[in-house]
Amino acid sequence: MQSTMRLRHFSPRTETVYLAWVRRYIRFHRLRHPGEMGAAEVRAFLEHLAGPRRLSASSINQALAALLLLYADVLRQPLEALGPMPRAKQPERLPVVLTRDEVRRVLQELDGVARVIGVVLYGSGMRLTECLSVRVKDVDLERGEFRIRRGKGAKDRVTVLPQAVRGALVAQLERVAVRHRRECAEGLEHGWVALPGALDRKYPGAGRSLAWQWLFPATRRYRGEADGRWYRHHWHESAMQRAMTAAVRRSGVLKRASCHTLRHSFATHLLEGGADIRTVQELLGHRSVTTTMIYTHVLNRGGLGVTSPADRGGLGDLLAGLAV
C-alpha cells in the first residue's frame, strides 16, 4: 500500500495516517486479511468509530478514504461495487480567529525559534507543515517571499514574507549556515538532509548543500540506515504545537487556539484590511475560492451587521451599577 501511495505522490503525513487506519481496521477484525473482507466489515468498523469510539466526522471520513484506497488500488476490489459507503457529515464550524491584540499576547509567550515560527505562521498564512518544511533556498528576502514547495494538494505557491520577521530570519539563516559548515567539517558523512522524491539520485550531492538545509532544523541528528550518513530533520510539528498550547494558556486568551488559528487570523485580518479575496485565496493555497469564503462569514459575525433591539431600547441603564 505504501508503494501505491508513493506512486500517487501522497505526502509522508498522509502515508503514515492511512497505514495507521488500515492496521487499526485489521486489528478490529482480529487480524483477518483485508482481502477476505469487504463492504460489510468496513461498515462495521466505521460504525464502531462513530459509536463506541465517538470519533469526529473528519476522522471517520479519513479512515474511509484509507480503506477505499486499500481495496480499490491495492487489492483491486473496489468497495463502491459492493454497495454505497456512508460518509460522515461534518458539522459546519466557523474557524477560531484571534484579534490582533490576542495574536500579540500569544506570540509574546513563545520563546526563541518557536516565536520566530509563530510570527511566520501569522505573517504568511502558511500551514504548520508548510512552514516547518521551508528550506534555505525557499526564503527570498529581497522579494519578501516564501516559496512553498508541494503544499497541500501537491501545489507550489508563493506567499508573503513579513518584514516584521526579516531580521529574525536573517539571524536564523546565519545560525543554519554556521551549524552546517561545522557539521560538514566533521566529514563527508555529515551535514545531510533528506530530499523529496528521487532528487537524491538525480543530484547526488544536493542533500549536503546549504540551499537544501531546513530553515528550522531539529536539534538532534539521526543516522540513515541505508547509507550511514548523518541527517537532520526539521522541527517536529508536535514540538511547535506543544509550545503554542502552552503560550495560549500563559497568555490568558480563552479561545481554543492552535497553530492553525494563526493561519485563520492571517486570512481574516487581510480581508478586514481590504485585501481582495482572490489574493487571499492564492496566498492560502486554496483550490477553490469557496473555501476562502468562510472567512467572510467570520467577518460578519460581529453583530451580523444589525443593531440589537436591546441597544435600540436603551436598556443599558438597567445594568449600570447593578450588583450581581
Q: Is 295 a catalytic residue?
A: yes
Cell 490568558, residue? 252
Residue 84, phi-psi category: left (phi > 0), alpha (psi -120 to 50), beta (remainder): beta
Q: Is 297 a catalytic residue?
A: no
Q: Is 127 a catalytic residue?
A: yes
Q: Which residues, including other chains, have CB under 8 Å from residue 60's CB and lie 6 or more apart?
A: 46, 49, 50, 87, 88
Domain spans in the chain, listed from the N-terminal domain onward? 2-82, 94-303
251 pLDDT more than 70: yes
DSSP code per residue over 267-322? HHHHHHTT--HHHHHHHHT-SSHHHHTHHHHHHTTTGGG---HHHHTTGGGGTTT-
Dig out the grid coordinates for 214 from the structure. 531546513
Dig out the grid coordinates for 41 from the structure. 466489515
Q: Which of 43, 105, 150, 152 is the catalytic position?
A: 152
Please state which CATH number belongs to domain 94-303.
1.10.443.10
Q: Which of 18, 71, 122, 295 is the catalytic position?
A: 295
CATH architecture of 2-82: Orthogonal Bundle (1.10)
2-82 against 94-303: fold identical: no
Q: Is 264 a catalytic residue?
A: no
- In this structure, of 116-130, 211-225, 295-309, the range with the lowest mean pLDDT score is 295-309
Is 136 within 8 Å of 216 (Cβ atoms)? no
For residues 244-260, average pLDDT:
97
Q: Which of 127, 135, 180, 269 is the catalytic position?
A: 127
Q: Which of 43, 105, 137, 260 is the catalytic position?
A: 260
Q: Is 258 helix (H, G, I), strand (E, B) or coil?
A: coil
pLDDT tens digits along 23-79: 999 999 999 999 999 888 998 998 888 887 778 888 888 998 999 899 888 888 887
Is 21 within 8 Å of 67 (Cβ atoms)? yes
Q: Is 18 a catalytic residue?
A: no
Q: Which of 135, 263, 264, 269 is the catalytic position?
A: 263
Q: Is 263 a catalytic residue?
A: yes
DSSP code per residue over 196-246? STTHHHHSTTGGGSGGGSBSSEEEEEEE-TTT--EEEEEPPHHHHHHHHHH
Instruction: Please name which of 199, 200, 190 lies closest in space to residue 223, comparing C-alpha atoms.
Output: 190
